[in-house]
């Protein structure tokens, strides 16, 4: 009996400590401001390492590299599945290059959004109903001329997501932080606060995409 009571006390204590830790972490998150990132300044930073500094503005296609599957990945999955996943990643890379050029976007930005949104899973569906690689809501998809079933198509999803990102960048004068906040929480919410909404999910999302974007800019886009 005493052991059962002790066990219950320990479980309750751990739960209370966990709750306090989550509350503290969330409070700290809200206290720490997210610095506004200029998309254009990041493009300058990106282009400074390229031989053709007009690459983005000229709309040329940038070749994204997809490395051979690592040996630990081959051990984890069957050879057939590795080949299928590898081919899907190659198709995603090619499609990202295509629409980054079409909408004059950094391909690394598109890859960062896809990575954080869906982890490169073209069939991902969020609890709220967002679909596909770039997690587009069906209602928004209709505005973009894409059916719900089309959201699971790599080409249609990335094209619609890239077009929407470009629209948001134009709306928010190339503020990457506001653009990403609007992509996550919706432009009406960003306009209401005239800033990043004070939602933990949105603040974490903006930081996560920007951090991933920096990683791709600094260390390359070999994301397989």
Instruction: List the catalytic residues.
Output: 117
Exposure string over 77-95, b if 16+ CB within 10 A, otherwise e: eeeeebeeebeebeebbbb
Whole-angstrom CA distances from 107 to 45, 60, 94, 200, 203 are 14, 11, 10, 27, 23
CA-to-CA separations, 173 to 23, 176, 185, in angstroms, rounded: 34, 9, 18
Are 206 and 177 in contact by the 8 Å Cβ rule? The answer is: yes
Three-class secondary structure assignment of 205-222: HHHHHHHHHHHHHHHCCC
Residues in the chain: 224
Structure tokens that stand for 169 in this block? 């960048």
Alpha-carbon distance of 3 to 48, in angstroms, equals 65
């Amino acid at each position: 009996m005493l052991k059962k009571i002790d066990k219950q006390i320990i479980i309750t204590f751990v739960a209370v400590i966990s709750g306090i830790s989550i509350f503290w972490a969330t409070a700290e998150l809200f206290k720490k401001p997210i610095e506004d990132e200029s998309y254009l300044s990041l493009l300058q930073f990106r282009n400074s390492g390229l031989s053709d500094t007009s690459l983005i503005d000229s709309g040329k296609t940038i070749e994204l590299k997809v490395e051979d599957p690592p040996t630990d990945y081959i051990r984890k999955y069957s050879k057939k599945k590795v080949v299928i996943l590898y081919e899907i990643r190659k198709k995603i890379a090619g499609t990202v290059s295509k629409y980054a050029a079409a909408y004059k976007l950094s391909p690394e930005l598109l890859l960062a959004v896809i990575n954080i949104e869906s982890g490169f899973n073209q069939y991902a569906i969020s609890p709220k109903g967002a679909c596909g690689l770039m997690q587009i809501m069906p209602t928004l998809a209709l505005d973009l001329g894409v059916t719900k079933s089309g959201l699971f198509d790599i080409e249609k999803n990335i094209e619609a997501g890239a077009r929407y990102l470009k629209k948001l960048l134009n709306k928010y004068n190339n503020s990457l932080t506001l653009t990403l906040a609007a992509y996550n929480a919706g432009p009406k919410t960003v306009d209401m606060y005239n800033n990043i909404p004070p939602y933990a999910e949105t603040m974490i999302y903006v930081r996560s995409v920007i951090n991933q974007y920096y990683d791709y800019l600094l260390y390359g886009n070999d994301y397989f």
